[in-house]
Structures are given as C-alpha cells and as structure tokens.
C-alpha cells in the first residue's frame, strides 16, 4: 500500500470507531480481516496513524475546525507527525486509493490555525469532564503532563533476575540497541521507529527462554517499591496476567509463599504460561462462578506479610498506550471503579497480619481512585497507617503516596501507596 492509501485506510478505521464506539484493537482487527491484501507493515502503519489520531483527537479537531475522521487525521499529521501543509497536500490527491484533495479551507487551517486559544482540555487532548480531577492531581504541571500523555509511550522490558541480570539481557539484545531505564534497576528501554512499529520481542529467543518480560518502567517501580522479601507470605490480589506477580517472585528469589488471584478468571488465563517461562513459583487461585463460591483466600486472613493491590481503575495513566480508552470513559465508569476499589481494599486489609504491609497501586492519575480511596480505607480501618516511601525516582508526593507521570517520571501514570497494619 502507498502512504496515501494507508491514510485512506486510517480514516476508514476512525469512521468505524466513531460510528460503533468500540475498542480500537477490535476495529483494526476487523479492517485487517476485510483487507487481507494488506501486509503486516501496512497494518502496523495504519494502526500507528489511528493511535496517533486518537492521542490528538481534540487538538487536531480544533486545528481543522471539525471533528470528522478526515479532519482529525489531517490535524494529527501536522501536530503529531510534524508534516507541513504542502507535504500533507501531496498525500491527499484523490488519485487511485489516496484521500480526496484538500479543500481551500483545509489548506488555510493547516497554514494558520494554532492551539494558542484552545481550552486546556483541548490542548491537552482529554475529555472536558475529567479535567478538574487531573488538575487536582497535576497542579501547575497540568498542561505539560497532558501533552506528555498524548505522546507515544516507550517500550520497556524487565530482566528476569531469577535467570539473568540486566547486562546479560542487554548484551543478548544488542541488535535492538536497548539502554538502561532511568530509574528501574532491572529495566531496559528499546527505541521505537517513527512508524511506531516496535520489534517483535515475543519471538526473540531470550523472551522464549524467560530472560525478560515486557513491562513499563512505572510498573516495574511499583512492584519493586512493594518491598517483597524472601521467606514472606505475599498475596497479589489483583494479579491479572501476572506482570507484577513475576516481579514479586523475582524479588523473593522464589523463597516464601506467593499467592496470585484475581476477581476475573479470564484475566488470569496468561499467568500460568508466563510463570512457567520465567521459572517463577506462585500459587494461582482461580475463582469459580456462582453466588455460593467460596472465599479463595479465607485461609490467609491475618497471615500475609504483604498484600499487593494492583486495583482495577480507569487506566487514565496509560492513555499514551490506550488513547481510545480516554474517549470512551464516562463518569459512571469512574464511579464503578471506585466501588470496586473500596471492595478490594477492604478484602486486602483483612489478609494482613500485625506488622503486615498493604501496597495499593493504580495506573491512574485521578485522585478519586488514588488518595481518596486510601483516605476511605484509613477511615474504615483504624489499625492501618500510611507508611513513607523513600525513593530516588522523581515523583509527586501526595497525601498518602506517590504519583508517577509521563512528563515527570517518563513512565505511565502509576500511583503507589504503602499502608502498614499496626
């Protein structure tokens, strides 16, 4: 496919998203199935265009004066890709599979429109209703942080210290030019080309041997700050696919008792193969359906040294990676997540033994899901107190924990708070 034909395809996918309001991965998959002539390089390039357009949807629409798929993509080419008006016009020719030529108004807006007078939610490319919450969290750094949140995320991996160290992984992947992550001691960051198509890490021999896992540096830091130690009884209460479970097992050196579970059994499906590949030991407890389902963790109440709660949340801190999620988020979704966080925090607190630690993690920038959730738990449990985090990485200190962010930390927007049972 020509570059112009890829633009037409991206507009088609964006139109599908606008009409059907569904995850972008589903729309891209359906487009690929309906256009089997497109090679893997074409599909990757189209996906990159679509994701960039979703990252800059509000600001691109402001530049072009309308919120159509075509207008958003044109504005994105200027704002995100840095293309000049004549270059964009050279792609919009109407010839063969190229999009129709630019109108006079489109050419004029490309040449003259700016974001100087755009409101913050437009300049920062977020829904307007969530802006007050983000302002609470980010303060004077609101706009720089939102702009960083609209850029592409880096590609980070974590060396599996159960098998190797970081330098061994770095040497094995030298052909991919990895560099140490700025803050995480076992992390490496790989360059991603302009087209956004990163290396196929899952086919690298070292990945198949369990030498490393793909994990954002912020997630690595959150798991490390949990402070899991060999010989402890540790519960990963919202383990999902097991990314942090693997990091906990490595920190414990496979010594002690590590229990992983999740309220959604479907999310746990990948964990078994990941544990096998990494050589990590953990007891996975998969919930069964039905109202009469037993409490899988009842035998651990009052026995855990450490409970990690990587709580279900809006994922606002990962909008660099999942830009469609921010446009599908609704106030009702936030309220639902807050209720889930209350439930899981109360369950986690019952697992702690005296002196035990509860580490609460979200990938959210919204204080309602972070400090507010911890405040609520502290109000319900007088035997818990916030514990300090002594950190070298640049973070925002909050009332009860720390907030990572793309502009300040260079990571996804993870929040971490540590509570200790008296």
Annotated catalytic residue 313: no
Contacts for 85 with CB less than 8 Å, ≥ 6 apart: 78, 107, 110, 111
How far is Cα of residue 267 from the mean position of the Cα atoms in its chain? 16
Token pair belonging to 272:
């078994």
Residue 352 neighbours by CB distance under 10 Å: 25
Contacts for 194 with CB less than 8 Å, ≥ 6 apart: none
Cα–Cα dist 348/340, whole Å: 12
Residue numbers belonging to the annotated binding site for S-adenosyl-L-methionine:
262, 310
Cα–Cα dist 244/241, whole Å: 9
Cα–Cα dist 179/170, whole Å: 7
Token pair belonging to 398:
């909050």
Of 14, 363, 378, 393, the active-site residue reads 363
Token pair belonging to 319:
């909008």
Measured over the CA atoms of residue 87, residue 90, residue 92 and residue 97, the dihedral's sign is negative
- In this structure, which long-range contacts are made by residues 108-113, counting pairs with CB atoms below 8 Å and at least 24 apart in sequence? 109/63, 109/64, 109/65, 110/63, 110/64, 110/74, 110/78, 110/85, 111/85, 113/62, 113/63, 113/64, 113/65
Token pair belonging to 376:
């609520």
Cα–Cα dist 12/6, whole Å: 10
Cα–Cα dist 360/345, whole Å: 8
What values do phi and psi take at 163, rounded to 5?
Answer: -125, -40
Active site residues: 363
């Amino acid at each position: 496919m020509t570059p112009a034909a890829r633009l037409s395809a991206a507009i088609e996918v964006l139109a599908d998203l606008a009409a059907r309001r569904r995850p972008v991965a589903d729309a891209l998959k359906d487009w690929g199935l309906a256009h089997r002539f497109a090679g893997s390089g074409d599909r990757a390039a189209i996906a990159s265009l679509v994701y960039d357009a979703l990252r800059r949807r509000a600001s691109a629409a402001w530049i072009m004066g309308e919120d159509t798929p075509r207008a958003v993509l044109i504005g994105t080419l200027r704002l995100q890709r840095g293309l000049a008006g004549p270059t964009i016009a050279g792609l919009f020719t109407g010839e063969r599979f190229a999009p129709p030529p630019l109108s006079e108004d489109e050419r004029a807006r490309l040449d003259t429109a700016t974001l100087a007078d755009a409101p913050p939610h437009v300049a920062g490319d977020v829904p307007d209703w969530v802006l007050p919450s983000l302002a609470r969290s980010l303060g004077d750094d609101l706009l720089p942080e939102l702009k960083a949140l609209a850029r592409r995320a880096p590609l980070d991996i974590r060396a599996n210290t159960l098998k190797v160290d970081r330098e061994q992984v770095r040497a094995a992947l030298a052909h991919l030019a990895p560099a140490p992550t700025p803050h995480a001691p076992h992390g490496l960051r790989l360059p991603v080309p302009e087209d956004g198509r990163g290396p196929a890490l899952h086919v690298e021999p070292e990945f198949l041997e369990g030498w490393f896992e793909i994990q954002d540096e912020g997630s690595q830091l959150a798991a490390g700050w949990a402070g899991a130690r060999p010989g402890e009884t540790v519960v990963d209460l919202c383990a999902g696919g097991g990314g942090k479970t693997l990091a906990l097992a490595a920190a414990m050196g496979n010594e002690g008792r590590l229990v992983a579970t999740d309220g959604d059994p479907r999310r746990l499906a990948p964990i078994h193969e990941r544990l096998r590949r990494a050589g990590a030991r953990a007891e996975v407890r998969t919930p069964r359906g039905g109202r009469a389902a037993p409490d899988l963790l009842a035998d651990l109440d009052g026995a855990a040294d450490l409970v990690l709660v990587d709580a279900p949340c809006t994922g606002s801190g990962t909008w660099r990676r999942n830009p469609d999620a921010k446009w599908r988020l609704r106030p009702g979704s936030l309220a639902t997540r807050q209720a889930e966080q209350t439930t899981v925090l109360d369950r986690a607190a019952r697992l702690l033994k005296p002196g035990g630690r509860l580490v609460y993690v979200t990938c959210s920038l919204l204080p309602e899901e972070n400090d507010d959730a911890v405040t609520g738990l502290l109000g319900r449990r007088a035997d818990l107190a916030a514990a300090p985090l002594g950190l070298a990485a640049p973070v925002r200190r909050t009332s009860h924990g720390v907030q990572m962010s793309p502009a300040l930390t260079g990571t996804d927007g993870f929040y971490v708070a540590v509570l200790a049972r008296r």
